[in-house]
Homo-oligomer: A and B are copies of this chain.
Amino acid sequence: MGMPLIDHHCHGVTTGELDREAFELLATESDWPAPAGTSVFDSPFGITVRAECAPLLDLSRHASAPDYLARRAELGAQEVTSRLLKHTGISTYLVETGYRADEILGPDQLAAAAGARSEAVVRLESVGEQVAATGVTAGLYGDEVAAEVTRQLETAVGAKSIAAYRVGLDLDPARPTHVEVARAASEWLRPQARRLDHPVLIRHLLWTAIDAGKPIQLHTGHGDSDAVLHRSNPSLLTGFLQATRETGVPILLLHCYPYLREAGCLAQIYPHVYVDNGLGVNYTGPGATAVIRESMEMTPFSKLLFSSDAFGLPELYACGALLWRRGTAAVLNEWVAADAISSSDALRYAELIAHGNAERVYGL
């Protein structure tokens, strides 16, 4: 399992030095500190950082939180980032650029730090917000957004939507009309547009991306406190998947935790649907193999992709890649040992999930 990985969905690494509070906030989906007397270092991801990243910083496995943070500060963020990223074996990073972009390394900087290649993924909701910030009128909003999405996608490999966060995946799957978009834009732009959470405009973004024809990543499942878990169940997208099937545009269901099985069912049925098991793998630490196992339960082997969903901490890249390699190998080796699959097929599927499927879907 030493093959190169394509991390088909991730964010940049934070640029600054991190104190304990800042580190802990980046090591969880929570937006608030752990309650008094407790620590994120005492969580499945926390113990994985202390077990797996500590040795890469010259500490012994299972270092304590204070020792880990002290050594991290001593080495400095740049050296830590470089060591951890180079250890991942990730050859290509597909970096979503639309979230807190000022705090993190962009795709080029990340590639330089990792000695790897990178490509950009456009966050659709950010494009809507960027266009709104130009002072566009409601009547022109729809066309301007479509033009800007198309323009940004020219140099990007795909689009990403956080519809799950903004309106829930139980959205109306229909393409909105021009009149509906103009009316919705007039509601949202007045008096001042901020966070794009208008259901019609979210749908407009999705269909604009469908028209642009590049792969679309959709957040599903567990995320931060801005999302409601059961409204992020990928099965809620069924209507949208039915409506877009004939377009052939690949839809990549991100994360999916704890709905890996639901996602696998969708990937079996809909030819344009793909499944990713990132995020859940990191946050379950030693339990990640069970998550990976579920993602391999029904999903066709040509439909599963690796990602880290890392944001901010290089530890999320390092642990995400390591846990994925270990878990995927564990499942496939078990199947080989039971003679349920040949070694050559197992290797072939590992290569597909590690990078082959991403190469095919994104045309890398």
Task: Give chain B nearest CB distance to A362 CB in angstroms.
Answer: 14
Complex CA distance for A224 and B285, rounded to whole angstroms: 34
Q: In the complex, are the beta carbons of B271 and A35 less than 8 A apart? A: yes
Interface residues of A in 261-318 (CB under 8 A from B): 261-262, 265-266, 268-272, 280, 283-287, 290-291, 293-294, 296-303
Binary contact track A79-116/B, C-beta < 8 Å → 1, others 0: 00000000000000000000000000000000000000
Q: In the complex, are the beta carbons of A230 and B262 less than 8 A apart? A: yes
Complex CA distance for A307 and B228, rounded to whole angstroms: 27
**Chain B residues within an 8 Å CB radius of A338:** 286
Q: Judge if A2 is at the interface, Cβ distance under 8 Å.
A: no
**Chain B residues within an 8 Å CB radius of A287:** 293, 296-298
Interface residues of A in 38-53 (CB under 8 A from B): 38-40, 42-44, 47-48, 51
Complex interface: stretch among A182-190, A197-205, A341-349: A341-349
A300 to chain B: closest residue by CB: B43
Complex CA distance for A225 and B242, rounded to whole angstroms: 8
**Chain B residues within an 8 Å CB radius of A44:** 296-298
Q: By CB atoms of chain B within 10 A, which of A44, A228, A270, A296 has the most? A: A44
Given contacts A29-B268, A284-B297, 16 further A-B contacts (CB under 8 A): A28-B269, A35-B272, A37-B360, A42-B301, A42-B345, A43-B268, A44-B296, A44-B298, A48-B340, A62-B341, A222-B265, A228-B239, A229-B235, A230-B233, A286-B341, A287-B298
Query: Which residues on A are within 8 Å of B, measured CB to CB?
Result: 28-35, 37-40, 42-44, 47-48, 51, 61-62, 222, 224-225, 228-230, 233, 235-236, 238-239, 242, 245, 257-258, 261-262, 265-266, 268-272, 280, 283-287, 290-291, 293-294, 296-303, 334-335, 338-342, 345, 349, 352, 360
